[in-house]
């Protein structure tokens, strides 16, 4: 783990003006425009990024296409791609302290979480796909003797990757690593409020030996650069993580342009269900508090709806409150902070809007509910719990993406299932029970991409992540994710 003195040195590092990364080199945006980078830690402007537009996206896509057609990556032996990507993973690990602090200054995640969940997780993901790619075989079809049916697996071409700000490196790696391992060339559109680590990743990739044009990063505003990437006629696929609103736009852009495939990882309103026979209520309460409040609730799988069985409701709420009030919110670059800053002042305002609406609709505020540490100039919010939440309230239906938990009470397993499945989302969920049959029935009954049992979060790279219903489609992580970035081609040969 990084030391506090290393953090305190790195937090003062001069970042300056960062350009786009296209064709293996940094450059300004065509328009010359830039955007300030504001730290949610104290509201200070500590760097700037290029404010790209459609011309920059076009240059990046042309560079990616040229690299793809040249073939030095796309047609290279998978063993070569493995070597370069492994070197990239090593370089990330070598620069882990620098990347962690850079990312935290940008998006405010508490450093204890960012250290593992950002660069180290990204390095692990890149290594995972590097090691996988030279074990992917084509197939021979079971045909009659007079023909040979071969199934080849080929890269798609140019893949656009559009990312959210909560874990840009981790989520970026979930898409960039399998896309590159499969031989594609990539254009990344980072989130405008957390672009710095992805720009650094591209530099490290070049240092690792990735040929120019294979990985490009175009910073800028979503409605400009993101739209241009989504509409580009020479992009073969878009891999997206973010809101449902933008996800819908990307489907529209695809329909209006070249029918590029679109993979959507969207939001959630994940139910965390505590049965009376949970193995350890106290531990369940601690994990549940972490499961919603770490990274200020800015976690797509956050357990934002807590369903507690009536007979243990009061006991569990006591434990939950005590676990929540023990969480220390503060400077994300202080190793003692359990929860850092909300990613931006705008996001904080949005969270407070949800709080006001929940109170107006009749939910009861148990703790939190407001901005704290305003004197720092940063964006901090107290972990917030509402009880008496009912299904018709906004807090039960819409994703906050902030440290706000809505609590409901249930009597029976059937009622828990009905409540759990009653939103338009289906990303994650959890069940706490000692009864194996209850656990397995709930895993089957809950409509979500992941059901945790007696834990929350922490599922590693070996298993897929993604949603059902309006939480999206397509899966990140695991060997299944490679399939998204590989096209099947049939050779049918008369013998």
Residues that bind ligand NAD (CB under 6 A): 162-166, 171, 189, 191-192, 222-223, 226-227, 230, 241-243, 246, 249, 265-268, 300, 399, 401, 427, 465, 467
Compare residues 189 and 260 and give the one whose CB is closer to ligand NAD. 189
Report, in Å, the least distance between residue 134 CB and ligand NAD: 28
Report the run of H or E that residue 34 belongs to, with start and end: strand 34-38
Residue 457 CB, nearest approach to ligand NAD (Å): 12
Alpha helices, DSSP H only, in 147-269?
168-181, 196-208, 227-231, 244-256
What is the full DSSP assignment across 381-393?
Answer: E--EEEES--TTS
* C-beta separation of 164 from 242 below 8 A: yes
Q: Output 409-415 pairs: Cβ under 8 A, ≥24 positions apart.
A: 409/307, 409/308, 409/309, 409/310, 409/313, 410/273, 410/307, 410/308, 410/309, 410/310, 411/309, 411/310, 413/275, 413/438, 413/441, 413/442
Residue in 192, 265, 399, 413 annotated catalytic: 265
Across 116-184, the runs of DSSP E, i.e. the strands, are 139-140, 147-155, 158-162
Largest CA distance in the chain: 79
Query: Contact, 37 vs 196, CB < 8 A?
Result: yes
Q: Which residues pair with 155 in a beta bridge?
A: 486
Which residue, 263 or 316, has its beta carbon nearer to ligand NAD?
A: 263
- What are the counts of helices (DSSP H) followed by strands (DSSP E) for the chain? 17, 23
At residue 483's C-alpha, the angle toward residues 478 and 485, to 5°, is 110
The residue among 362, 378, 284, 364 whose CA lies nearest residue 330 is: 378
- 414 classed as catalytic: no
Q: Which is nearer to ligand NAD, 110 or 387 (CB)?
A: 110
Report, in Å, the least distance between residue 242 CB and ligand NAD.
3
Q: Which of 118, 227, 300, 413 is catalytic?
A: 300
Whole-angstrom Cα distance, residue 27 to residue 33?
12
Rounded least distance, CB 23 to ligand NAD, Å = 21
- Distance in Å, CB of 243 to ligand NAD, minimum: 3
Which lies closer to ligand NAD via its Cβ, residue 166 or residue 438?
Answer: 166
CA distances, 472 to each of 283, 304, 403, 424, 453 (Å): 31, 18, 23, 11, 22
What single DSSP character describes residue 455?
S
Give whichever of 165 and 293 is closer to ligand NAD, judged by the CB atom. Answer: 165
DSSP-derived letter for residue 493 is: E
Alpha helices in 108-167 (DSSP H): 111-115, 121-133
Q: How far is the CB of 193 from ligand NAD (least distance, A)?
A: 8
Q: Is 338 helix (H, G, I), strand (E, B) or coil?
A: coil
Taking the C-alpha atoms of residue 79 and residue 131, their distance in angstroms, rounded to an integer, is 9
Least distance from C-beta 84 to ligand NAD, angstroms? 26
Which of helix, strand or coil describes residue 142? coil
300 counts as catalytic? yes
Kindly tell me which of 19 and 467 has the beta carbon lying closer to ligand NAD: 467
- Measured CA to CA, the distance from residue 326 to residue 144 in angstroms comes to 69
Q: Residue 252 Cβ, how far from ligand NAD at the closest point, in Å?
A: 9
Q: Residue 95 or residue 249: which is nearer to ligand NAD going by CB?
A: 249
Of the candidates 219, 189, 166, 172, which has an alpha carbon nearest to the alpha carbon of residue 343? 166
Closest distance of CB 163 from ligand NAD, Å: 5
CA–CA gap between residue 279 and residue 136 (Å, rounded): 41
> For ligand NAD, which is the closer residue by CB, 84 or 404?
404
Q: Please list the active-site residues.
A: 265, 300
């Amino acid at each position: 783990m990084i030391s506090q003195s290393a953090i305190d040195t790195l937090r003062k590092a001069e970042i300056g003006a960062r350009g786009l990364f296209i064709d293996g080199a940094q450059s300004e945006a065509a328009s010359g425009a830039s955007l300030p980078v504001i730290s949610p830690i104290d509201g200070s402007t500590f760097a700037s990024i290029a404010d790209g537009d459609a011309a920059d996206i076009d240059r990046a896509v042309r560079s990616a296409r040229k690299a793809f057609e040249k073939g030095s990556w796309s047609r290279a032996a998978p063993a070569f791609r493995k070597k370069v990507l492994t070197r990239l993973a090593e370089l990330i690990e070598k620069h882990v302290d620098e990347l962690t602090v850079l990312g935290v200054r940008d998006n405010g995640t508490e450093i204890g979480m960012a250290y593992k969940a950002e660069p180290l997780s990204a390095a692990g993901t890149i290594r995972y796909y590097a090691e996988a790619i030279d074990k992917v075989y084509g197939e021979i079809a079971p045909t009659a003797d007079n023909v040979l049916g071969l199934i080849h697996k080929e890269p798609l071409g140019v893949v656009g990757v559009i990312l959210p700000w909560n874990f840009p490196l981790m989520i970026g790696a979930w898409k960039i690593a399998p896309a590159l391992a499969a031989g594609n060339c990539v254009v990344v559109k980072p989130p405008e409020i957390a672009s710095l680590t992805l720009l650094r990743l591209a530099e490290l990739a070049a240092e690792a030996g990735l040929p120019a044009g294979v990985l490009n990063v175009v910073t800028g505003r979503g409605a400009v650069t993101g739209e241009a990437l989504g509409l580009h006629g020479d992009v073969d696929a878009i891999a997206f993580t973010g809101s449902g609103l933008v996800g819908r736009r990307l489907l529209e852009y695809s329909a209006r342009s070249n029918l590029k495939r679109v993979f959507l990882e969207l939001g959630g309103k994940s139910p965390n269900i505590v049965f009376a026979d949970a193995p350890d209520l106290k531990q369940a309460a601690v994990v549940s508090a972490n499961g919603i409040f770490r990274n200020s609730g800015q976690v797509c799988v956050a357990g934002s709806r807590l369903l507690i069985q009536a007979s243990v409701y009061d006991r569990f709420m006591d434990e939950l409150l005590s676990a929540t009030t023990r969480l220390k919110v503060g400077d994300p670059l202080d190793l003692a902070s359990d929860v850092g800053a909300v990613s931006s002042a705008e996001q904080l305002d949005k969270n407070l809007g949800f709080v006001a609406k929940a109170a107006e609709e009749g939910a009861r505020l148990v703790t939190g509910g407001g901005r704290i540490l305003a004197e720092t100039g940063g964006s901090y919010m107290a972990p917030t719990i509402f009880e008496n939440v009912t299904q018709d309230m906004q807090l039960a239906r819409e994703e906050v993406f902030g440290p706000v938990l809505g609590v409901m009470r249930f009597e029976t397993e059937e009622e828990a299932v009905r409540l759990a499945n009653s939103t338009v989302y289906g990303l994650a969920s959890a069940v706490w029970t000692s009864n194996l049959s209850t656990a397995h029935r709930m895993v089957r009954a809950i409509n979500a991409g992941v059901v945790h049992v007696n834990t929350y979060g922490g599922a590693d790279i070996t298993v897929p992540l993604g949603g059902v219903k309006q939480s999206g489609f397509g899966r990140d992580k695991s060997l299944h994710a490679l399939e998204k970035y590989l096209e099947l081609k049939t050779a049918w040969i008369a013998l």
